[in-house]
Structure 1
Amino acid sequence: MFENSIRITAIATMLVLGACQGEDAQTPPERRAPQAVKIVPHQVGYATDTVRVEAVGTARARASATIQAEVAGEVIAVNFTSGDKVSRGDVLIRLESRAEQLAVEQAEVSRADAQRLIDRYNTVSTPGVIAGNELDRAEAAYDAAEISLSIARDALGDRTIRAPFSGYVGLTDVDPGARITPDTVLTRLDDRDVLYVDFPVPEQTFGRITAGDVFEVEPFSNPEASYEAEVLTIDSAIDTQTRAYTVRTAIDNSEDQLRPGMSFRIGFELPGQQYPSVPEASIVWGGDGAFVWAVRNGETARVPVTIVNRMEGMVLIRGDIPEGSWIVEEGVQKVRQGTPVEMPASRDTRPVATNGLASGGQAAAQP
């Protein structure tokens, strides 16, 4: 009897334990929350995409001409010394012109004869004495004499070489007595009171430079000196080979310290648009291009970006990254889309770029 009671108690206990185990097997386990990943964040600041332009240009005179004669002949006078400043119309060289002078005098005589004949016909008062066609022929002869005189004067003028504009004359190898032809180079004339310097500028700066802008330029002959160069005009097209366009500047050379042909160096910065500035380490490359991990509501979110420029360890990007938001700087390989992240409770925030400059930052609010 006692043994039967023990057996019944044991069986009941086993049934109770089995039922409990069955309930445990049917109850699903509780889902564990993903463990947060520790990262080093970066608070995004905006910086200006500053373009640095450096170029070299060669100066040329405001006006420049190679002086040559219109006709061949013998030089009888050279009226300048190399380096002289001359005015427009000044006589530089004279050629022998005796024959041309005689031709002018002969043309003047012919014109005078034609005029006298016309005057005689006009003084005759008796009708019918002078036929109408006679007067017409006299007037035609006068017109022809006028044309001949103009031709003779032009030929005489060609024997005198004058300055086409004011400027400085260069060297000459021509002396009195030398015979020259229209191909002979007599001298060079330069108006160098103002020098023009053309500089090639990258295509990315197009539209940021306008006429009237002033830049500092340095001559290679004296790097310690600097001159102001004012933008006169900008080329109307961009070179398809160099991807650059030409900017023409003017340098005041009224003190005559510079010369055409000198090389000048120009360097300046042009502020552009503002873009998010992030550390290079935060950029991740995938099959679709570059992206960053943004921290939003304590989780990571993949944000595609386009790299605009690099400067001193930072990268300017284009993407949906608001100023002041947070991204993952260190730990980018440990996170995925929607990964919870753990950020340091307190730290010294890295400098946040503003207007192209880094400003000292303090501990900022957590995202």
Structure 2
Amino acid sequence: MLLALLLALAPLVLSSPARAQQPTAVIAAEARLDDWSDPLQALGTLHADESITLSATVTDIVRELNFRDGQEVEAGQLLVRLADDEALAELRAAQALRDERRNAVNRLSQLQSRNLAPRGDLEDAQARLRQVEAEIQALEASLADYRLHAPFAGRVGFRNVSVGSLVTPGTALVTLDKLDVMKLDFTLPELALGELSPGLPLTATSGAYPDSPFQGEIATIGTRIDPVSRSVTVRARLDNPEGRLRPGMLMNVEVHRASRETLVIPEASLIPEGRRQFVLTLDPDDAYRVTRREITIGARRKGEVEVLDGLQEGQLVVAHGTERVRDGQPTRLLGILDDTTTVPELLRQGRDAAEANG
């Protein structure tokens, strides 16, 4: 009876140590060479590529408003017309006078050609014709003050006046912005001046669209250094085909300097201890045994860190599971992270494989 009980318990007793010594599952990443650029970061403000406020230059009543709030308008389109009846009447009177004086010049010219009129009379008539033609040009120029056209294609703002409103010189009638391309102004430290050049690419993000970075490039570098802040103003251009960007928006800017090739690992692989950084490397030829190794790191970017010393290209480091394994311990590799995989996917694949094996 006792012998049978011992035989029944023997598999359980033997399986407990075996189960306890099962290698810990980890996910690894490969130290790889990659292009790395230390970005210059700044805050910038957006401006429209072209921006104006059309204002009245005469005192009169608004006769026509040919736009709606936020409407896209074409270059040369008539936006506002003020009451110009008096100016038109003066222009028509001057045109009639021009016709009269032109006829007089023609008659005197014919008579003078037959020596039937003095030369001086013809010259006086020609002078009076030139005078009225100059008056017509002046009236046509003043008549243009009553009609406001769009100087370029763009989008108008809010309509703050109504037909029948009395406006005076300086009254703002409508704003017009060209928004298909935006200007982005920001400042950078004087020390970065030697690394800046027109055409250098950059990425800009806004709190309004945190998941939608906008790509652009440096267009102009300021000609002066601010003697107080020791910074230089830089202007970039951003394409805005969908019109999401608006003048005055605050943008986070990252200027991409010339890249270099360096060794890169996931930032999650780091084990910090004070000012020192360690990683856990895996040996594929020895059951993926863990070795704790100190490394020297450089710059960081989202999710990745530059390795200056302590690792070689192609070495495997623990990217997920660093808190569950120790130096010298064998592990079970669930997978290797790359651009086509994620930690949740590899964990799910490992769990499915374990369930399939019982």
Q: TM-score range by the shorter chain?
A: 0.5 to 0.7
Q: Which amino acid aligns with 2:155?
A: Y
Report the Cα offset of residue 313 of structure 1. 5.5
Structure whose CA Rg is larger: 1
Aligned to 1:131: 118
Stretches of structure 1 lacking an aligned partner (at least 5 in a row)? 1-49, 274-311, 315-347, 363-367
Matched, 1:190 2:140: no
Matched, 1:60 2:47: yes
Q: Which runs of 4+ in 1 moved over 2 A?
A: 50-53, 125-129, 267-273, 348-357, 359-362
| Superposed CA offset, 1:281-327 (max 9, x none) | xxxxxxxxxxxxxxxxxxxxxxxxxxxxxxx969xxxxxxxxxxxxx
Report the Cα offset of residue 172 of structure 1. 1.8
The match for 1:359 among 295, 299, 309 is: 309
The match for 2:154 among 167, 171, 174 is: 167
Q: Which amino acid aligns with 1:61?
A: A
Query: What is the aligned length?
Result: 243
Distance in 2, matches of 1:119 and 1:126, equals: 11
Report the Cα offset of residue 133 of structure 1. 0.9
Aligned to 2:136: 149
| Superposed CA offset, 1:250-272 (max 9, x none) | 11001112111111001346469
8 Å CA contact retained: 2:112, 2:118: no
Report the Cα offset of residue 186 of structure 1. 0.7
Report the Cα offset of residue 69 of structure 1. 1.5
Matched, 1:121 2:108: yes
Matched, 1:221 2:208: yes
The 5 Å alignment of 1:250-329 reads 250-268=237-255, 270=257
Aligned to 2:81: 94
8 Å CA contact retained: 2:188, 2:233: yes
Distance in 1, matches of 2:218 and 2:179, equals: 17
Over 3 Å counting, the alpha-carbon distance change for 1:114 and 1:200 in structure 2 is same
8 Å CA contact retained: 1:205, 1:270: no
Distance in 2, matches of 1:71 and 1:53, equals: 49
Secondary structure of the equivalent of 1:106? helix
TM-score (norm 1): 0.61
Q: Which amino acid aligns with 2:188?
A: V
8 Å CA contact retained: 1:53, 1:202: no
Moved more, 219-228 or 195-204: 219-228
| Superposed CA offset, 1:107-154 (max 9, x none) | 111111111111101212675431111111011001001011111112
Distance in 1, matches of 2:66 and 2:206, equals: 33
8 Å CA contact retained: 1:51, 1:205: no
Aligned to 2:167: 180
Over 3 Å counting, the alpha-carbon distance change for 1:228 and 1:180 in structure 2 is same
Supply the RMSD in Å over aligned alpha carbons.
2.8
Moved more, 171-180 or 116-125: 116-125
8 Å CA contact retained: 2:185, 2:234: yes
8 Å CA contact retained: 1:77, 1:94: yes
Distance in 2, matches of 1:139 and 1:108, equals: 15
Report the Cα offset of residue 351 of structure 1. 5.4
Secondary structure of the equivalent of 1:224? strand
Distance in 1, matches of 2:131 and 2:308, equals: 85
Aligned to 2:285: none
Aligned to 2:61: 74
Report the Cα offset of residue 185 of structure 1. 0.9
Stretches of structure 2 lacking an aligned partner (at least 5 in a row)? 1-36, 261-273, 277-291, 300-305, 313-358
| Superposed CA offset, 1:149-171 (max 9, x none) | 11111222211111121110001
Over 3 Å counting, the alpha-carbon distance change for 1:188 and 1:352 in structure 2 is closer
8 Å CA contact retained: 2:112, 2:122: no
Report the Cα offset of residue 82 of structure 1. 0.7
Q: Which amino acid aligns with 1:219?
A: S
- Which structure has greater helix proportion? 2
Distance in 1, matches of 2:73 and 2:93, equals: 34
Over 3 Å counting, the alpha-carbon distance change for 1:361 and 1:229 in structure 2 is closer
8 Å CA contact retained: 2:80, 2:148: yes
Secondary structure of the equivalent of 2:209? coil
Distance in 2, matches of 1:361 and 1:190, equals: 54
TM-score (norm 2): 0.62
Q: Which amino acid aligns with 1:66?
A: T
Report the Cα offset of residue 353 of structure 1. 8.1
